[in-house]
Structure 1
Amino acid sequence: MNEFELKFQVPAEHAAAVEQALKRGEVSRQHLRARYFDTPAGDLETAGIALRLRREGRGWVQTVKGPGRGGFDRLEHNAAIGTGGAEPQPDLARHDGHPLRAMLDDALGRSAARLQPVFETDIHRLTREIAVAGSTIELALDRGEIRANAAAYPVMELELELKEGSASAVFELARSWRQAHGLWLDPVTKADLGRRLAHRIEQPPAVIADQVRESGRQLQAAVLESGLRQVLWNARELVAGQGGDEHVHQLRVGLRRLRSALRELDVAGLAEDQLAQIDSALRALFSVLGEHRDQSTLLPAILRELADAGHPVQAWAPALPDLATAIREPGVQDAFLGLAELAQALREGEGERPKTLRAQARERLRRLHRKTLKSGQDFDELPVEERHRVRKRLKRLRYLAELVRSLFAGSAVDAYVQSLKELQDALGRYQDATAGRALFERRAASDPAAWFGAGWLAAREAALAAECARACRRTARKAKPFWD
Structure 2
Amino acid sequence: MLERELKFYVPPHKRAALERRLRKNGATDLLLHACYFDTPEHELAKRKIALRVRKEGELWVQTIKTPGPDELSRIEINHPRPGPTLDLGLYKGTLVEDMLAGLEHPLTLLYETQVHRLVFKMDCDDNEVELAYDQGVIKSGALELPLCELELELVRGEVASLFKLAAQWLRKYGLILDLRSKAERGDALARIATPTGSTNPAAQAAPWPQLFKPRRAGPIVLTSDLSMQQAYQRCATDCMNQIIRNTTLLATTENVEAMGSPHVEYVHQIRVGIRRIRSCWRFFGKWLVLNESQLGKELRNYFSKFGQIRDSDIIHLTIAPRLAAAGMPDSTLPPRADADSTSALAASPQFQSVLLTLLQHLTDAKLALRKPEKTEIKLGKALTKRLNKRIHALGEKGAHFSQFPIEEQHRLRKQVKGLRYSMEFSGTLLAERRLARLREALTTLQHTLGDLNDLYIADDFYQSLIATQPQAHFAVGWLRAMQEQKKAEAQADFIRLRNVGHLKKA
What band does the TM-score fall into relative to the shorter chain?
0.7 to 0.9
Structure 2 residue aligned with 1:111: 106
Q: Secondary structure at the match of 2:217?
A: coil
Output aligned runs, 1:305-454, within 5 Å.
305-311=322-328, 313-314=330-331, 316=333, 318-320=335-337, 322-346=341-365, 355=377, 361=383, 364-365=386-387, 368-406=390-428, 408-409=430-431, 411-454=433-476
Q: Secondary structure at the match of 1:455?
A: helix
Q: Which amino acid aligns with 2:208?
A: E
Q: Report the TM-score when normalising by structure 2.
A: 0.84
- Structure 1 spans left out of the alignment, 5+ residues: none
Distance apart, 1:140 and its partner CA: 1.0
Q: Does the CA-based 8 Å contact 2:62-2:81 persist in structure 1?
A: yes
Q: Which amino acid aligns with 1:333?
A: Q
Q: Report the TM-score when normalising by structure 1.
A: 0.87
- Structure 2 spans left out of the alignment, 5+ residues: 194-206
Output aligned runs, 1:147-226, within 5 Å.
147-198=139-190, 199-200=192-193, 201-203=207-209, 204-215=212-223, 216-217=226-227, 218-226=230-238
Query: Given the alignment of the two structures, is residue 237 of structure 1 paired with residue 249 of structure 2, yes or no?
Result: yes
Worse-superposed segment, 405-414 or 302-311: 405-414
Aligned residues: 472
Structure 2 residue aligned with 1:79: 79
Q: Percent identity?
A: 32
Q: Secondary structure at the match of 1:140?
A: strand
Q: Which amino acid aligns with 1:403?
A: F
Q: Does the CA-based 8 Å contact 2:441-2:496 persist in structure 1?
A: no
Structure 2 CA distance, aligned partners of 1:411 and 1:375? 25
Structure 2 residue aligned with 1:33: 33
Q: Does the CA-based 8 Å contact 2:329-2:471 persist in structure 1?
A: no
Q: Does the CA-based 8 Å contact 1:51-1:65 persist in structure 2?
A: yes
Q: Does the CA-based 8 Å contact 2:290-2:367 persist in structure 1?
A: no
Pair 1:134–1:223, CA change in 2 (3 A): farther
Distance apart, 1:445 and its partner CA: 4.8
Structure 2 residue aligned with 1:138: 130
Distance apart, 1:407 and its partner CA: 5.0
Q: Which amino acid aligns with 1:401?
A: M
Determine which of 290, 302, 307 is the counterpart of 1:290.
307
Distance apart, 1:457 and its partner CA: 0.8
Structure 2 CA distance, aligned partners of 1:131 and 1:270? 31
Q: Secondary structure at the match of 1:208?
A: coil
Pair 1:64–1:436, CA change in 2 (3 A): same
Q: Which amino acid aligns with 2:64?
A: V
Structure 2 CA distance, aligned partners of 1:312 and 1:195? 51
Q: Does the CA-based 8 Å contact 2:383-2:426 persist in structure 1?
A: yes
Q: Which amino acid aligns with 1:304?
A: P
Structure 2 residue aligned with 1:10: 10
Q: Which amino acid aligns with 1:89?
A: T
Q: Secondary structure at the match of 1:404?
A: helix
Structure 2 CA distance, aligned partners of 1:219 and 1:111? 35
Structure 2 residue aligned with 1:458: 480
Q: Secondary structure at the match of 1:255?
A: helix
Q: Does the CA-based 8 Å contact 2:62-2:79 persist in structure 1?
A: yes
Pair 1:442–1:482, CA change in 2 (3 A): farther
